[in-house]
Amino acid sequence: MNGSISMNLDGLFTRTTVSFQPSLPFDELVINGREVTGPGLERVSAILDLIRGMAGIGERAEVITENNFPSGAGIASSASAFAALALAGSRAAGLTLSEAELSRLARRGSGSAARSIPSGFVEWQAGTGDEDSFAFSIAPPEHWQLVDCIAIVSAAHKKTGSTEGHALAPTSPLQAARVADAPRRLDLCRSAILNRDFDAFAAIVELDSDMMHAVMMTSSPALHYWQPASLSVMQAVRQWRGEGLPVCYTVDAGPNVHVLCPQTEAQVVERKLREIAGVSNVLVAKVGGAAKIVNGEK
């Protein structure tokens, strides 16, 4: 297991309500107004089972959740969703968990969800097992005024999800090298954030992203998430940086491109992204805070 660092986003959210009801014969899940069954419900029920075990209750739950950004399109919707579920579900069951406990619980639904619990710039430590595999904040949102301009080239739900893609990674001959080099990249990224060194940050963020996609492209079967417009955005970002604009890219398991820049450059970057053929929209988000309860709900 290797550690990782992420930047939580403000304004892009998952809002989840969980209510345990004695009258329910089974768990119910509604996402963006649509009832979900099958594997999606099973992943949610698995987390609810953990919560029920911790709280000593047996009631089934109704889970209502909504995102204000595209789901399953490489914008960390599963990470956001399971972080929200861990907090809302545990609180609905009468539990008050620590940040580390919530992070560990969220991780059981989606590994990256561990990083969506704490605030700001977050590190998920490697750990040796469940007890020490959780995330913590390395810097608050106000530490560095960065902005993520997400170039949307496709809002469609990807055919192969992150979990399935991760399972294929060992079939790539490049994965062993990527894993072996992970601690070095993690140190470079942490140092760049703490020192607010954008040049160092850009270099390591783009390298890490490209290495992940190289593994996916060389797995069996191969996964090609990039679309022509994804490449257009990445090439434009490199060109802009060469011209002196502080900007870099990273691409999750999907076609949409996260373009990071200082807040002072966000309007310029957004405008330039919207001019690229194939970019249908640009979502702009600052560094966000921790998962939280809103009006008694999450």
Question: Is residue 158's pLDDT more than 80?
Answer: no
Q: How high is the pLDDT of residue 163?
A: 66
Average pLDDT over residues 164-174: 88
Taking residues 266-294, report their average pLDDT: 95
Q: What is the DSSP string of the chain?
A: ---EEEE-BSS--EEEEEEEETT-SS-EEEETTEEE-THHHHHHHHHHHHHHHHHT---EEEEEEEESS-SSSSS-HHHHHHHHHHHHHHHHTT----HHHHHHHHHTT-GGGGGGSSSSEEEE---SSTTT--EEEEE-GGGS-EEEEEEES--SPPSS-HHHHHHHGGGSTTHHHHHHHHHHHHHHHHHHHHTT-HHHHHHHHHHHHHHHHHHHHTSSS------HHHHHHHHHHHHHHHTT---EEEE-SSS-EEEEEEGGGHHHHHHHHHTSTT--EEEEEEB------BTTB-
213 with 230, same domain: the answer is yes
> Are residues 149 and 115 part of one domain?
no
pLDDT at 127: 79
Question: What is residue 80's predicted lDDT score, i.e. its pLDDT?
Answer: 87
- Looking at residue 101, what is its pLDDT? 96
Q: What is the mean pLDDT of the chain?
A: 91
**What does the pLDDT look like over 87-133, one tens digit per residue?**
999 999 999 999 999 999 999 998 889 999 999 999 998 778 888 89
Mark whether 202 and 116 lie in a shared domain. no
CATH number of residue 72's parent domain: 3.30.230.10
Number of compact structural domains in the chain: 2
Mean pLDDT of 39-51: 95
**Domain end point (choices 112, 139, 166):** 139
pLDDT cut 90: percent of the chain above it? 77
Q: Average pLDDT, stretch 79-84? A: 90
Q: Give the mean pLDDT of 243-264.
A: 96
User: Tell me, what CATH number does 257's domain have?
Assistant: 3.30.70.890
Q: Do 218 and 112 share a structural domain?
A: no
Same domain, 50 and 127: yes
Res. 298 pLDDT band, cuts 50 70 90:
very low
